[in-house]
Amino acid sequence: MAERLIVIGGDAAGMSAAATARRLRPDLEIVALEKGGYTSYSACGIPYVIGGEVASLDELVARTPQQFRTEHRIDVRMRHEAVAIDLDARRVTVRDHAHERDITLGFDLLHLATGARPIRPDLPGIDAGFVHGVQTLDDAGHLLAHAKAARCSNVVVVGGGYIGLELAEAFVRWGAVVTVVDRGAHVMASLDADMAVRVEEAMRRHGIAVRTGLEVTGFEPGRVLTAEGPIVADLVVLGIGVAPNAALAADAGLALGAGGAIRVDRRQAAGAEGVYAAGDCAETFHRITQRPVYLALGTIANKTGRVAGINLGGGYATFGGAVGTAVTRVCSTEVARTGLNEREAAAAGFRVVSATVEATNRAGYLPGAHPMTVKMLAEVGSGRLLGCQIVGQDGAGKRIDVVATAITAGMTAEDLVGLDLAYAPPVSPLWDPVQVAARRLLSAS
């Protein structure tokens, strides 16, 4: 009788593990449980469907359940929610929502890819129909249907992180009056304050009202209640952030780690025989601090899911860690970061030197040359690169990949200055902006 692998969660970390395990183990019986209506989709693309740049939610689906069934021989069961795991008995209790019944499935191997859940603070009125969290395509479908039906003209986004800013842009494209409210001193808490200010300036230039340092106290029909009075809203989007969806694992007795996520080792093993976890429900490893960390990023979900799949399939693979590289766009302004910001570096015990430069995305004498700001951090003494943040337009954001590569390789500011980077006036100044920042670091050291 073939061994059975049960995968809980049908998105990136789950189905990448399932497909990888299938390639290595043709004999393995694989059952994938997904409580929603989609598999293997790009949640990161949701704001661009909302904003009309992508025609439909279906275009965000990389592989349908039927494709997994026919092409990979994976028994994908939709609207099936795992509600309990018995590690001793090697059983999963599953709620079949379509038939309103509970079933029990045995397993030999288990992979947890339960993802993350939007943070929903316990505030009066937060469960009202005009207040939306957006984490899955099902969530996005509800939001889109409401927005179209109500023809929303006043939208409030609560939270100024990546998803909050991307959805703010989406509703600007609708022609709505958009207000972003954040309890912090600035939006984009992953940036240093001096760089976050530049993002706020760009948001205001694009017509987005920015209200920082403001506490939301509740919701009533047609308005958001705050400590400074109500804000008119016919639709509210929660962009406060996410938390690991790890309760199922914890109830089964698995240990939790950084950020309340499932504790895993470098092979994505979750601490019980034959049990693995990956993606937004699991912790990961930070290359700079050498500590576990919680990073809910699609890139990490796919990579860790692949690592788990190799190990589930009888191979050997480890995840080398991440440096927290991320990029987003707010209208025409690109925002990117990698490594540590000043607060994170201090918390990890690093003494840093920083440099901030103003440059352009291409030779300044060419039409379409736009300003960009680069802030770079290095360790005092060694000069080792620790982090970078970029705010600019048209090609500014992807420059972060050069610095992410340099950080991963353990390079110093001087090493970065010496890199043989490409140059042509339409795509870059003679000295690329990241090298200009590295040069400034050298003079500041």
Least confident of 142-156, 175-189, 315-329: 142-156
Question: Tens of pLDDT along 23-41?
Answer: 999 999 999 999 999 999 8
Contacts of residue 109, defined as CB under 8 A and 6 or more positions apart, other chains included, come to 3, 4, 5, 6, 28, 274, 275, 276, 312
Domains parsed from the chain with CATH numbers: 4-116+243-312 (3.50.50.60), 120-240 (3.50.50.60), 334-444 (3.30.390.30)
pLDDT of residue 148: 86
Euclidean distance between CA atoms 427 and 336, whole angstroms: 18
Q: What is the pLDDT of residue 189?
A: 93
Taking only the tens place, the pLDDT of each residue in 380-395 is: 999 999 999 999 998 8
Q: Per-residue pLDDT averaged across 183-210, rounded?
A: 95
The dihedral built from the CA positions of residue 381, 383, 386 and 392, taken in this order, carries a sign that is positive
Mean pLDDT of 35-48: 90
Question: Which residue, 249, 35, 252, is CA-closest to 136?
Answer: 35
Mean pLDDT for the stretch of residues 310-338: 96
Cα 185 off chain centre by: 22
User: What pLDDT is stored for residue 150 in this prediction?
Assistant: 79
Q: Give the model's pLDDT for residue 313.
A: 97
**Residue 285 token pair:** 């490893």
- Given a cut of 80, whether residue 1 has pLDDT beyond it is no
**Helix then strand then coil, % of the chain, to nearest 5:** 30, 30, 40
Q: Structure tokens of 92?
A: 């999963």
Residue 302 has pLDDT above 80, yes or no: yes
pLDDT of residue 368: 85
Residue 181 CA: distances (Å) to CA of 142, 164, 211, 233, 240: 22, 9, 5, 12, 10
Q: Which residues contact 202 (CB under 8 A, 6 or more apart)?
A: 330, 331, 333, 391
Distance, CA of 74 to CA of 2 (rounded, Å): 14
Tell me which residues are annotated as active site: 44
Mean pLDDT of 164-176: 92
Element (H, E) at 396: none
The pLDDT score that the predictor gives to residue 167 is 93
pLDDT score for 135: 84
